[in-house]
Chain A
Amino acid sequence: MNKALKILALLGVGVLLSVTTRAEKSTSLLNVSYDPTRELYQDYNQAFSKFWKEKSGKSVTIKQSHGGSGKQARAVIDGLEADVVTLALAYDIDVIAEKARLLPKDWQKRFPNNSSPYTSTIVFLVRKGNPKGIKDWDDLVKPDIKVITPNPKTSGGARWNYLAAYGYELKRTNGDEAKAKEFLKALFKNVPVLDTGARGATTTFVQRGIGDVLVAWENEAILASKELGKGQVEIVVPSISILAEPPVAVVDKVAKRHGTEEVAKAYLEHLYSEEGQEIAAKNYYRPRLESAAKKYGNQFPQLKLFTIDEVFGGWQKAQKDHFADGGTFDQIYQK
C-alpha cells in the first residue's frame, strides 16, 4: 500500500514540476542556430531583451538550440518550433522552405545583404609553433598531416570548408574539376574523425588533442586561439578562402502561431544595427556595417575571398553537385 502512495506522490511531483515549467513562459522566442554561435547569441540575446524592453515595454526571453546546421534544419522540418533560424548557410534554410513550407522560398530577400548580417571565412588552426609547417591548402593533402573537419552532411561549417578547399584547387588549376576532386580525395584521406558539428571538431582538436590542423570558421578559430586553447594553438591564414555568409530568417508559420512575428522580425533586424554589429564583431564575426568593421578591423586577417555564387553557382547548385546523395563528396569519401 505504501508503495502505491509513494508512486502517486512521485507522479504528483512530476506533474507539478511540468506545470511550473509551462507557467514560466511569457513571450519567448526560440532561435535555432548552428554550432559556433553559442557565445555570439548569448551576448546578443541579453542586449536584444534590453533593447526590446526599452522600445516596446515588453519583456522577451530568447531560448537557444545549437547543433550542426544541417541537423538543426532537419529538426525544424521535423517540428522543432523555431521562431527564427540563424543557420550556417542558405541551403539549410532553403530546405526548410521547400520540405516543410514553413517560410516562403524567397526568404533570402527579406533582410539586407542576402539576409546575412555578418560574414566569416575559413582558416586553419594549428598547434603552437606550427610544427608541421602548414601554410596553405596544398599542405593539407601531404601524406603525414592529420586534418580535422566535421561531416559536410550534417555541418554547415564543414561544407564551407570543403568548398573553400575545392575552390582553391579550381583557381590553381584554372578550373580543372577532375584535379579538384583528386585534391579533395587526398584531403579527406587525412581526416581521422568526422564530427557532426563545428564545435565538436574544435573540441576534438583542442581539448582531445587529435590532429595537426583544424579547418574552421574564422570566428571559431579566433575564439579557440584567444580563450580555450590560449598558448596551445595558433591561426594560419591561407592564401585564398571562401566568403561564408551565414543567413537568418523568421520562420513565418511558427511565429504566426506563437504570435511572435513582430518581435522575431525585430530580433533579426537588430542584428544589423550598430549594437548588433558590434556584438558580432566582438565575437569574431565580420560585421557588415562600415563603422564596426573599422573599429574591429585589425582582428580580422586580410586575405583573398571568393564567393559561392562566382565559383559554384550558388548554394542550390553546390549542394546538388557536391553534398546530395551520390554527389562529389560521396564519390571522394568512399575508401
Chain B
Amino acid sequence: MAGITKTHFSSEQKASRRGTEESPVAKWVLISIGMAFALTFLLLPLVNVFFQAFEKGWSFFFGALKDPDSWSAIRLTLTIAAISVPLNVVFGLAASWAIAKFEFRGKSILITLIDLPFAVSPVVSGLIFVLMFGLQGYFGRWLDDHDIKIIFAVPGIVMATVFVTFPFVARELIPIMQATGAEQEQAALTLGANGWQTFWYVTLPSVKWGLLYGVILCNARAMGEFGAVSVVSGHITGQTDTMPLRVEKLYNEYNGTAAFAVASLLALLALLTLGVKTFIEWKTQRNYELAQRATDEQK
C-alpha cells in the first residue's frame, strides 16, 4: 500500500517536472553553452589581464603603479569617485523619496529623466558638457573671463561622471521605497517624530542595504567610466588622466605590461565590488528570510 502511494506520488512528480522543465539533454546543453560563453568571454580575458600584468614580475608591476603619472591617475580616479558618489547618494535619496512617497505633477517626467543617462551614449554625455562649458560653448566666454576651468579639468570630469552614474542609486531605491509604502513613516509622525528623525530612524534603516547596493554600482561605474570622461578630460598626462584613460594611453605608448598593471588594479576594484555586492545580496536575502520567519512564528 505504502509502496503504491509512493510510486504514484513520484510519477506525479515526474509528470509535473516534464510539464515545466526541459529534458535533461536540453538542460545540460543550455548549461554548458552558458558556462562556455561566460568562461571564454568573461573569465578568460579577466585572467589574461592579470597574467599580462605580472608578465615581467612583481617589481615591474609595482614600479608601473608607482610611476608618477599612473599614481596621479589612480588618485584622480579615487577623487572623482569620492566626489560624485556622495552627490548621487544625496540626489538618489531625495528623488526616490519624492517619487515613492508623494504624488505630484511631472512625476513620470522625473522618472524618465533619471533613466536618461542609461539611454544616452557616454560620448554624448561628455559632449553636452563641452557644448555648455567649452570655450565656444554657451557659458564658455563668461567662465574664461572669470578664469574658471570646468572642461579639461577636474570639475568637468566630475560632472560627466555624475551624469553617467545618475540613475544607479535612485533606480535601486525607488522600488524598495515603493514596496515599503508610507505607513511606517506615518506611524512615526503620529508618534511625534519630526521629519528628520523619521528619515534617520525609519526610512534609512529600511532602505540601507538597497542604498549600499546602489552606491557600489555607482562607485564601480564612476571609477570605470571611459567614454564621457575621455571627451572632457583633455588627456593631460599626470593631470587629467583617470585610470581608464591611463590604461589606453599606456597601451598606445607600446607599454603593454604597465597598461595591464593599471588595468588589473581596475579589475581588482571591480572584483572587490562584485564580492561586496554578492555579500549584500546574501545579507538582504537573509534579513528577508529572518523577518519572514519572525512573522510566521508570531502567527
Contacts and interface: CB of A to CB of B under 8 A. Distances in A.
Interface of A: 1, 3, 7, 10-11, 13-14, 17-18, 21, 30, 35, 38-39, 63-67, 75, 77-81, 99-100, 199-200, 203, 227-228, 257
Nearest to A228: B254
B86 A7 contact: yes
Contact of A7 (B89, B235, B237): B89
Majority DSSP secondary structure for residues of B touching A: helix
A71 to B, nearest CB: 10
Contacts of A11: 82-83, 86
Contacts of A17: 75, 78-79, 82
B154 A18 contact: yes
Interface in B74-99: 75-76, 78-79, 82-83, 85-86, 89
A77 B237 contact: no
A30 B149 CA distance: 15
Contact of A77 (B83, B133, B135, B147): B135
A77 B144 CA distance: 12
Given A10-B82, A21-B75, A64 B236 contact: yes
18 contacts: A7-B89, A13-B78, A17-B78, A21-B75, A21-B79, A63-B237, A64-B236, A65-B235, A67-B235, A77-B135, A78-B136, A78-B137, A78-B151, A78-B152, A80-B236, A99-B136, A200-B252, A227-B254
B146 to A, nearest CB: 12
What 9 A-B pairs have minimum CB-CB distances, sorted nearest first?
A14-B82, A79-B135, A78-B134, A80-B234, A80-B152, A17-B79, A10-B82, A65-B235, A199-B252
A251 to B, nearest CB: 12
Nearest to B137: A78
Interface of B: 72, 75-76, 78-79, 82-83, 85-86, 89, 130, 133-137, 140, 144, 147, 149, 151-152, 154, 200, 204, 208, 234-239, 249, 251-254
A10 B86 contact: yes
Contact of B151 (A3, A67, A79): A79
A66 B136 CA distance: 21
Contacts, number: 86
Contacts of B134: 78-79
A65 B236 contact: yes
Given A38-B252, A79-B152, 18 more contacts: A1-B200, A3-B204, A7-B86, A11-B83, A11-B86, A13-B78, A18-B79, A21-B75, A21-B79, A21-B154, A35-B252, A39-B253, A63-B239, A66-B252, A78-B134, A80-B234, A81-B149, A227-B254
Contacts of A78: 130, 134-137, 140, 151-152
B89 to A, nearest CB: 7
Given A21-B239, A65-B234, A65-B236, A75 B89 contact: no
Contacts of A18: 79, 154
B149 to A, nearest CB: 7
B57 to A, nearest CB: 21
Contact of A64 (B136, B137, B237): B237
What secondary structure prevails in chain A residues at the interface with B? helix
Contacts of B237: 63-65
Contacts of B89: 7
Nearest to B127: A78
Contacts of A3: 204, 208
A78 B127 CA distance: 11
Given A17-B79, A18-B154, A79 B140 contact: yes
A153 to B, nearest CB: 15
Contact of B144 (A1, A13, A63, A79): A79
B82 A63 contact: no
Contacts of B137: 78
Contacts of B144: 79
A14 B83 contact: yes
Given A17-B75, A79-B152, A100 B135 contact: yes
A152 to B, nearest CB: 20
A81 B79 contact: no
A14 B140 CA distance: 26
Contacts of B151: 78-80
Contacts of A79: 133-136, 140, 144, 149, 151-152
Contacts of B136: 77-79, 99-100
Contacts of A228: 254
Contacts of B252: 35, 38, 66, 199-200, 203
Given A63-B239, A64-B237, A78-B136, A14 B79 contact: yes
B154 to A, nearest CB: 6
A3 B85 CA distance: 13
B242 to A, nearest CB: 13
Contacts of A77: 135-136
A39 B254 CA distance: 10
Contacts of B234: 65, 75, 80
B200 to A, nearest CB: 7
Contacts of A199: 252
Contacts of A63: 236-239
B152 A21 contact: no
